[in-house]
Chains A and B, each alone.
Chain A
Amino acid sequence: MSQYPRFLPVGDRALSVELGDSISEVTNRRVHNLSREILRLVAPGVLDVVPTYRSLMVYYDPLSISYADLTSRLGEMEGSLGEGETVAPRLVEIPTIYGGEYGPDIGAVAEHNGISEEEVIRTHSGTDYLVYMMGFLPGFPYLGGMSERIATPRLQTPRPSIPAGSVAIAERQTGIYPVESPGGWRLIGRTPISLFDPGREPPVQIEPGDYLRFVPVDESEYADIQSRMRAGTYALATRPMGRSL
C-alpha cells in the first residue's frame, strides 16, 4: 500500500496532504486534480486550499469539521480521482517581447550558454511550462520544464526594481514577475499580460496547474496587447492541453 496520501496536522486549523516527496508532473497533476475537487465540492468547514509541488495545504474550521472527518473525506476524494485526469489542463499563451530594453540580460544568457540570442528565444518559447504552484509574490508562478541549455546563474547584485511582466531566468528556473519588485533573476523579455491585479476578480489570469507557452511578439503587437489589457478587452489565448502524461 502506498504511503500516500499522507495527512499531517499543521496547527489546529490546517492540515497538509502529501501526495509524494519530490517534484514531478505526475504528482503535481494529482495535487491540482484534488485541489479542484475540494474547491468544487466545497466541504463545509473548509476555508482555503493551497496546492503546492507535491502536497496541498487545507485550511479548515475544526468547530465545523473534525480533523478525523476531514482527513477521511479527503482520502476518499483522492482515491476516487484515480490515476486519470478529471480535466485536461489548460495551455495559456503568454505573448512576450524578447531582448532589447525588455530583456536586457538576454545577451548574457546567450553568452553564458554559448548560443545566439535567437537560439535563447527559440529554446525558451519552444517548451510548455507547468505552473506547479503560485507563491512568493501574489500571482508569481513557479514554472517547471525549462531547458538546461538556457540555464544561467542569478545576477550577483539584484536590481532594486524590476518591471511587472518581466520574463526571467534564475539557474534552471524561469518565471514572470507579476508586479514590480526587486530581484536578481536574469531578464530576457517582458509580457504585456497583467498577471496580478488586486482590483480585478479574479485577481490572476493563470491558475496553478495551467501550462504556459511563451509566444514571441514584436513591439507593435506588444503595444497593442498592452493597451487592450489596460482597457480590459484582452482575452488570453487558451486551449485544452493536447498531450497527456
Chain B
Amino acid sequence: MRTIEVIKGGALSTVQDLGRYGYQRYGVPVSGALDQFALRVGNLLVGNEESDAGLETTFLGPTLRFHFDATIAVTGGDLTPVLDGQPVPGWASLSVPQGSTLSFKGPRDGIRSYVCVRGGIDVPTVMGSRSTFTRSQFGGFRGRAVATGDMLPVADRGSDAPQSGARSLAPLTVPHYGRHHALRVTMGPQDDAFTTAGIDTFVASEFTVTPVFDRMGYRLEGPVIQHKKSADIVSDGTSRGAVQVPGSGKPIVLLADCGTTGGYTKIATVISADLPWMAQAQPGDTVAFRPVCLDEAHRALSEQEAFIASLRS
C-alpha cells in the first residue's frame, strides 16, 4: 500500500495544497499552504504538479513511517528532519526506502516545514481542493490535523514516469527565514482611514510577533497605529496578507485560513512574494513593513514565478 503512517502528529500537521478558490462568496476561506513557495518548490523537486497536496507541519514536526519506496522532499522551515536518525538535507529530493521513519528534532529556522511526496497526498478533494480547513472540519484528512494511527494515501504517479527538472535547490537560492522579517506591502485598501502619524508609525516601527497566531493570522505587538476616526468599516472582502488594524491600533496579519469578509480597516497588504516570511515567524520575532508600489510588487512576483518556472525544465 502506498501509505504514510502517522506515528505522531506533531503540533499541527495538516494536508494542504494551493487552496480552494471559487467559494469565497459563500464564506469559504481559501486555506492552502501558508508558505506557498515551499510547497510548490517541494512538489517540483519530487516531480509533482505544483498544486499537489503535501503535509504542512508546524514547529514540532510529526513522525511518519513510509510503507512504500517513496521519493520525498522536505522544504520550508528547517525543523531538523531526520530519516531513521540520519540528517535529511532540506530542499532536495530524496529516496526513502519502505519502512523508513521521518521525524523532526525541533525548529532551527522558521516553524513550518512541508513534506512533499512524489504522487501527492491523495485525500478526496472538497470544493476542488485537498486543503484542510480545521475550523469547519472539512478537506484534507477527515477535516482535521493528522494524528497517531492515520494512514495517509499517496497517489501513484507511475514509477517509470520520467522526472524532469531540478532535484535540489542551489544553496544560494534556499530561503533563510531568520528572526527579523522585513515585509514589503502595498498600502491600502483602507490606508485613508489612518492619520499621517498612524501611517508613519506603521512604516517606521518594529512590531513583535505575539503568541497569538494560527493559520488565520498573526497578532503583532507594537506602538498604536492611529486611526482618523473609526477602526470599523462596512464589512468588505479580506485576503491573505491583509494587515488589519482593529480599534486597539495593534496590527493583525491575515493568512490563508482568514475569514472571507471583515469589518476592520486594512492599512496595507503584504505582497505575495514576502508572505512566506510571515508564515515562518514565531513569537518574539520582529516584523517591519516597507511600502512598495503595485508595479514593484508585481515585479517581485514575476521574479519569483520565473525562478519557480526555472525549476520545471
Interface residues of A (CB under 8 A from B): 8-14, 16, 18, 21-23, 35, 47-57, 59, 62-63, 67, 133-140, 142, 178-179, 196, 198-199, 201-204, 208
From B29, B235, B270, B301, contact of A52 by CB (8 A): B235
**B305 x A47 contact (CB < 8 A):** no
Pairs of residues from A and B, 7 with the lowest C-beta to C-beta distance, nearest first: A57-B237, A135-B261, A11-B269, A198-B138, A12-B297, A8-B189, A50-B237
Kindly state whether residue B21 has any CB partner on chain A within 8 Å.
yes
Q: Residue of A at shortest CB range from B187?
A: A9
- Size band of the interface chain B makes with A: 35 or more
- Identify whether the interface residues of B are mostly helix, strand, loop, or mixed: mixed
Judging by beta carbons under 8 Å apart, are B242 and A51 in contact?
no
Expressed in whole angstroms, the minimum distance between the Cβ of A220 and any Cβ of chain B is 31
Judging by beta carbons under 8 Å apart, are B27 and A14 in contact?
A: no
Residues in A whose Cβ lies below 8 Å from that of B30:
48
B28 touches A11 (CB 8 A): no
- Of B29, B126, B236, the residue contacting A199 (CB under 8 A) is B126
Across-interface contacts of B237 in A (CB, < 8 A): 10, 14, 16, 50, 52, 55-57
25 A–B contacts, CB within 8 A, in A order: A9-B189, A10-B188, A10-B189, A10-B237, A11-B269, A12-B300, A13-B301, A16-B237, A22-B234, A47-B22, A48-B21, A48-B25, A50-B24, A62-B301, A63-B305, A67-B294, A133-B235, A134-B26, A134-B261, A138-B26, A140-B27, A178-B27, A196-B26, A198-B126, A203-B26
Chain A CB within 8 A of B271 CB: yes
| B103 interface residue (CB < 8 Å to A) | no
Q: Which residues does chain B contribute within 8 Å of A54, judged by CB atoms?
A: 234, 236
Distance in angstroms between the alpha carbons of A230 and B301 in the assembled complex: 46
> With contacts A10-B266, A50-B24, A137-B27 known, what are 20 further pairs, Cβ within 8 A?
A9-B269, A10-B239, A11-B186, A12-B271, A14-B239, A16-B189, A22-B234, A48-B25, A133-B261, A134-B260, A134-B261, A135-B235, A135-B259, A138-B23, A139-B26, A198-B138, A203-B28, A204-B26, A208-B25, A208-B26
